[in-house]
């Protein structure tokens, strides 16, 4: 009887122990399942992380390339150009180029015009210098070249990136020094020290302003390119000038000749008026030399008169001698003639 009473209790105890053991096993099973899931998720996420890391490396290289491109695009380049364009009408082309520069946000910095003449033919040449934004430089070149025939074209570039970087670094150092000096100035108690710090502060501030002005100038030149457009109207040829001259009226040619005569006469009068003082100055030594020469000419004729007298006496003596010789010759002839007559008379007598 006793064993029968304890049997149900034993069975109930065994079932209770079995239920507790069953309840513990699901917990352990669930715990193992969670660990497996974590391991599986870890194994699955590892390739993803590796893929992300490899993708990150590729993205980093792409970013570095993009940054290099951005830096190359941000280079500070100053561009200066010059164009020579042959146009039909100078005034119209110059106005059009200036208007195009203003429409692009630029302005005209300088211009010049010159009129040429050859006979009745006239033509104009000149230039216009425009400052336009750097990004519109090529479009401005194309517009100016489309106004006529491009004779020559050139562009010069200057990279000032390093200069701007250097200026910025120097400015940063000077600003920091200025801040330190201001701090020392606010803490100084001695008057002499205050004056010394104030002097240094003034020097630093002046240097900062100078460098900032240089930086602004470079930035302005980088932001606005310079283009010099030289415009030339074609000069007329010799045949054109000759044809135009023949086409002139007679009245115009006559009036032109009268004007030329007037210009020549006026030029002659002006030249004579300019030379008159010089002639007056040069006349004094000329008159002196002439007077001296006249004095010498007065003394020479007296010598010549003496020589002429001597010559006349010599001529007279020569003529006298000749006459004497003639007379003696005549006497001798007469004597010879008489002798011959006497001889003939003697012969007759015989």
Q: State how far the Cα of 196 lies from the Cα of 192, in Å rounded to an integer.
A: 6
The answer to whether 220 touches 75, Cβ cutoff 8 Å, is no
Q: State how far the Cα of 206 lies from the Cα of 177, in Å rounded to an integer.
A: 13
Kind and range of the H or E run holding 228: strand 224-232
Q: Which pLDDT band, with edges at 50, 70 and 90, does 66 fall under?
A: low
Token digits of residue 322: 């000749």
Instruction: Decide if pLDDT at 295 tops 80.
Output: no
Instruction: Decide if pLDDT at 212 tops 60.
Output: yes
Q: Which of 205, 222, 237 is nearest to 76 (CA)?
A: 222
Q: Determine the pLDDT at residue 5.
A: 52
Instruction: Decide if pLDDT at 79 tops 60.
Output: yes
Token digits of residue 141: 């070149």
Higher pLDDT among residues 184 and 346, named by residue: 184
Q: Determine the pLDDT at residue 49.
A: 43
Bridge partners of residue 107, in order along the sequence: 131
- Could you tell me the strand order of the sheet in which 77-86 lies? 107-118, 121-133, 224-232, 77-86, 149-159
Instruction: Decide if pLDDT at 57 tops 90.
Output: no
Q: Which pLDDT band, with edges at 50, 70 and 90, does 235 fall under?
A: confident
Q: Determine the pLDDT at residue 279.
A: 83
Instruction: Decide if pLDDT at 44 tops 50.
Output: no
Q: Which pLDDT band, with edges at 50, 70 and 90, does 54 fall under?
A: very low
Instruction: Decide if pLDDT at 136 tops 80.
Output: yes
Q: Which pLDDT band, with edges at 50, 70 and 90, does 73 fall under?
A: low
Bridge partners of residue 131, in order along the sequence: 107, 226
Triad 98, 102, 107: Cα angle to 5°? 75
Instruction: Decide if pLDDT at 71 tops 70.
Output: no
**Would you call 164 exposed, middle or buried from its count of C-beta atoms within 10 A (0-12, 13-18, 19+)?**
middle
**Mean pLDDT in the chain?**
73
**Cut 0.75: pTM above it:** no
Q: Determine the pLDDT at residue 15.
A: 57
Q: How many Cβ atoms are within 10 Å of 106's Cβ, its own excluded? A: 21
Q: State how far the Cα of 55 lies from the Cα of 58, in Å rounded to an integer.
A: 5
Higher pLDDT among residues 226 and 57, named by residue: 226
Q: Determine the pLDDT at residue 111.
A: 92
Higher pLDDT among residues 210 and 58, named by residue: 210
Question: Helices 137-145 and 90-103 meet at what angle, rounded to 10?
Answer: 160
Kind and range of the H or E run holding 237: none
Q: Determine the pLDDT at residue 203.
A: 94
Q: Determine the pLDDT at residue 8.
A: 56
Q: State how far the Cα of 111 lies from the Cα of 131, in Å rounded to an integer.
A: 12
Higher pLDDT among residues 47 and 336, named by residue: 336
pLDDT digits (tens, 9 = 90+) for 148-169: 999 999 999 999 999 999 999 9
Bridge partners of residue 154, in order along the sequence: 82
Q: Determine the pLDDT at residue 126.
A: 94
**In the block, which residue shows the tokens 């149900």?**
8
DSSP readout, 14-46? HHHHHHHHHHHHHHHHHHHHHHHHHHHHHHHHH
């Amino acid at each position: 009887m006793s064993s029968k009473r304890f049997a149900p209790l034993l069975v109930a105890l065994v079932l209770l122990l079995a239920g507790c053991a069953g309840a513990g096993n699901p917990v352990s099973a669930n715990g193992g399942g969670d660990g497996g899931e974590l391991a599986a998720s870890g194994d699955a996420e590892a390739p993803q992380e590796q893929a992300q890391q490899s993708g990150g490396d590729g993205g980093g290289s792409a970013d570095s390339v993009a940054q290099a491109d951005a830096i190359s695009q941000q280079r500070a380049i100053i561009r200066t150009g010059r164009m020579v364009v042959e146009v039909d009408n100078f005034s119209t082309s110059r106005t059009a180029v200036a208007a195009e520069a203003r429409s692009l946000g630029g302005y005209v910095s300088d211009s010049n015009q010159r009129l040429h003449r050859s006979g009745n033919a006239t033509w104009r040449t000149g230039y216009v210098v425009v400052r336009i934004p750097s990004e519109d430089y090529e479009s401005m070149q194309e517009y100016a070249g489309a106004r006529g025939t491009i004779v020559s074209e050139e562009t010069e570039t200057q990279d000032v990136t390093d200069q701007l970087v250097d200026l910025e670094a120097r400015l940063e150092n000077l600003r920091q020094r200025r801040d330190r000096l201001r701090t020392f100035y606010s803490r100084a108690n001695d008057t002499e020290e205050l004056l010394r710090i104030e002097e240094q502060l003034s020097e630093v501030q002046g240097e900062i302003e100078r460098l900032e002005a240089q930086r602004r100038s470079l930035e302005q030149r980088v932001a606005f390119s310079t283009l010099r457009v030289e415009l030339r109207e074609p000069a007329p040829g010799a045949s054109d000038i000759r044809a135009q001259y023949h086409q002139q009226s007679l009245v115009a040619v006559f009036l032109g000749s009268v004007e030329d005569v007037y210009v020549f006469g006026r030029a002659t009068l002006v030249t004579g008026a300019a030379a008159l003082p010089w002639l007056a100055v040069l006349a004094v030594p000329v008159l002196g030399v002439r007077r001296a020469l006249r004095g010498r000419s007065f003394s020479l004729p007296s010598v010549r008169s003496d020589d002429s007298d001597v010559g006349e006496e010599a001529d007279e003596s020569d003529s006298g001698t000749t006459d004497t010789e003639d007379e003696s010759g005549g006497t001798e002839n007469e004597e010879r003639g008489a002798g011959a007559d006497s001889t003939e008379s003697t012969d007759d007598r015989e």
